[in-house]
Structure 1
Amino acid sequence: MEITVISAQGLKNTSSGPFSHRLRPFITITACPPGRDKKCQMYRTRVDDQGGVNPTWGDKFHVPIDTAFFHSRYSCIYLHLYTKRLITGPSPTGLVPGSSY
């Protein structure tokens, strides 16, 4: 499966005050195949240092999945939105709506 993460729009910057930070967003994609013995695969876009509340990426990922993925009700693909913080590291910003299979 090929997944292209194009952009996000209208993000809220919840930082305020003297230690406020600008958004430096990135997306992680986690694909979890059926079966407890299989590991979830994670992919990550680059950080958009310029886009702020309207970031763009255009990053493509080739996620190897087989037909069992589509036949199991427990298979899923999650997209999480983070912002990169220089001191504290990645900070979760949200789960992209409708991001599970």
Structure 2
Amino acid sequence: MQTITFDTDKLEQAISVEFGCRVSEIVSLRDSLVKKVIVFILSKAQNYNARAIATKYSISYLYVPTVILEVEFLMKTKPDFENKINSIIQNVYEVEKMD
């Protein structure tokens, strides 16, 4: 079995800045919007495996597709939500290019 590791510190920091929350809200056991955002970004933008994401953020891997659908719905219905997610992705990729 291959171990999947990924560094999400920069992504977690970018989400906490954009949404005005603490990183602890992202990694907590509680289901929150910011946790859904990071799951969405890791799944869609960075193509990580649902099981690896679920293990990292203490959710069921079967819940990952539901989270993706929920965030996509929010992107269609909330006017500024898609801009926030695009801003986070852009900021994280710019930081990774600099490193």
> TM-score scaled by structure 1?
0.26
Higher percent of residues as helix: 2
Higher percent of residues as strand: 1
> TM-score scaled by structure 2?
0.26
Q: Which has the higher contact order (CA 8 A, sep 6+)?
A: 1
